[in-house]
Amino acid sequence: MKSVRVVVTAALLAACLPVHAAGMVVHALMADYARQHLPTAHPLKRILDQHRPALLAGAMYPDGGYATGALFPEDRDVAENAHWEYFVNPLMQLLHERGCATAVGADNPLPLIGGTLDFLVNLQQVEVPLADIRRSDDCGSLVAFAMGVAAHGMGDEVWDALFEPVVRERGEHIGNSPANLLDSFPPGADTSAGQLLRGLIGDAPFEALAQAFDPLSLNSIEYAMDVMAIFEHDLWLQIPYLEFPPDSVLVDAYARTGRNDPAVTAFAVQRTALATRTLVLAERAGAAIEMPRVSQHMPWASANYFTGQGGVLHTSDMISGYYLHLWNKLANGLEAARGPRVVGLHPHHGAADVPFGLTAEHSVIAFLSGAVDRASTEAPGAIVVFDETGAIVPGGANRFGYRGDGAHGLSYGFDQPLEPDHEYTVVVTTRVRDSLGRPLQRPRLWRFTTAAAP
């Protein structure tokens, strides 16, 4: 009986390995669809089309250090800092100084085949995937990688503000212990794997096992939605061709952030790149058996991660506006960069049936193409919501979403529920500035209507 317990424990530990690969496929989809949203004639569109392996690598890179942080605690800062504009801005300035906006040349596009992301697959990658870390210092690859990193940061901000709170309010992330989930596997079976396991080891050992595994969430929202993305977009056997910049480029960018203690080393960057590559493989290894469980336990999330609020398509549209603003920084340098624009709204302009109660689905937020200066948003009139009579709706700025340095969201939280079946008007004014001190280029006004009372 003891040997059975050891085998079961080892199997459950193995099943939990992909958990740390949260969100990589979703981030790659967001960055890639944002590329497709760019104007056809824009030079950045052509660069990202030709350097998609670098774009995808950048979109996945910021999470790699979280995985290696278990052994190298300093890698957590490598990962965390890469998520925010205080890292993206120095990276853009560095590439501006290298002349990358005008030095992208007429590179030949790589032959890409198959799947939504057109991942390139070859025999070498399948046989020796962990050794497949390609690097390039050509400006096209550097620009694409930097845009991918930026896409990851904004992707997390929108996803975490608009999508995940609804999933959590619906409770679909609950009951996530690998041991407890055995009670519903295989889906629809009269006798579950959990019941069989209880019969083998007894109720008390089973409950102890469940408690021991509770921190290892198999319903981590980003990981679970990666499983769905791999399944729905036919990415089972496709391993992305990833291209990273030279270590020195990223080491220099980290050094310019002013948040580089301890200093990021080339070895830390190499670990992060290798972890990124490895986690991509781990997710695909686990997705084949995970999809039925995820779709059963997280039906709303599975149905909305791609087309719903804060999902892939909604977020990618905002990221495309962010790309264009970053191109301006790349071309002109940070000192001469223009002010930000509003690139995303929630609720969208003209939305009807918006929840009027204080729920996770009831929020007002604008996403800017530059990181928000929080002090400017506290000024009276920076963001205001009016009711149908022109009266200001009581509330305040920055009550939900990320509020730290380097984040792009500006939110307005209400002191009390809104009125049902009423139209509201939101105004974001040019009193709002970005982290570089530039005011919003132009005000943004939009309207939405709340749902009727039940």
Please state, in angstroms and rounded to a whole number, the distance separating the CA atoms of residues 324 and 179.
Answer: 46
| Residue 296 CB burial class (10 angstroms; 0-12, 13-18, ≥19) | middle
Q: What is the pLDDT of residue 15?
A: 37
Confidence of residue 243 (pLDDT cuts 50, 70, 90): confident
Exposed e or buried b per residue across 343-359, where buried means at least 16 C-beta atoms within 10 angstroms of its C-beta: bbbbbeeeeeebbbeee
Confidence of residue 373 (pLDDT cuts 50, 70, 90): very high
CA distances from 243 to 54, 150, 163, 239 (A): 5, 16, 30, 13
| Residue 142 CB burial class (10 angstroms; 0-12, 13-18, ≥19) | buried
**Mean pLDDT of all residues in 199-227:** 70
Neighbours of 129 (CB within 10 A): 15
Confidence of residue 170 (pLDDT cuts 50, 70, 90): confident
The answer to whether the Cα torsion of 49, 51, 54, 57 is positive or negative is positive
**What's the pLDDT tens digit per position in 311-328?**
999 999 999 999 999 999
Owner of token pair 């690969």: 21
User: Quick one: tokens of 293?
Assistant: 């469980």
Q: What is the pLDDT of residue 313?
A: 96
Long-range contacts of 298-304 (CB under 8 A, 24+ apart): 298/167, 298/172, 298/173, 298/219, 298/221, 298/224, 299/172, 300/166, 300/167, 300/170, 300/172, 301/163, 301/167, 301/170, 301/172, 301/221, 301/224, 301/225, 302/224, 302/225, 302/228, 304/163, 304/166
* CATH 2.60.40.1220 in the chain, residue ranges: 339-450
Annotation: CATH topology of 339-450 = Immunoglobulin-like (2.60.40)
Tell me if the bond preceding 73 is cis, omega within 30° of 0: no
**Mean pLDDT of all residues in 343-348:** 94
**What's the pLDDT tens digit per position in 30-58?**
999 999 999 999 999 999 998 998 999 99
**What's the pLDDT tens digit per position in 112-165?**
333 334 333 333 333 334 334 566 668 999 999 999 999 999 999 999 999 998
CA distances from 260 to 45, 166, 251, 254, 270 (A): 32, 35, 10, 6, 17
Q: How many Cα atoms are found within 13 Å in the side-chain-facing hemisphere of 218?
A: 27
